[in-house]
Amino acid sequence: MNPVGAIIIFLLVWWCVFFTMLPTGVKGRWESADDGVMGADPGAPSDPKLKQKFLRTTAIAVAVSAVIVAVVASGVIGFRE
């Protein structure tokens, strides 16, 4: 497998994991004691913790991508047949 293919696999895995991580641990403004910004949508997250989710997503995506690249590079799954 060439490096471009590995990068594409990493990016696809990263975005899939990121979209599954986004709703975890989110509290809406209506659920928190401090409403924050006046006029904000009550369903908007009060603290989305994006930096933490970004780091967790990157760690998970590196591990999953490494497994996928290793399986493809070993020839267990052949895409050229």
| Binned average pLDDT, 10 residues per bin, the chain of 81 residues | 92 97 82 67 79 96 95 80 62
The pLDDT, as a whole number, for residue 3 is: 93
Cα–Cα distance, 6 to 9 (Å, whole number) = 5
Q: Where in the chain are the domains?
A: 47-81
The pLDDT, as a whole number, for residue 63 is: 98
The pLDDT, as a whole number, for residue 59 is: 98
pTM value is 0.79
Dihedral sign for Cα atoms in the order 32, 38, 42, 44: negative
Cα–Cα distance, 39 to 26 (Å, whole number) = 19
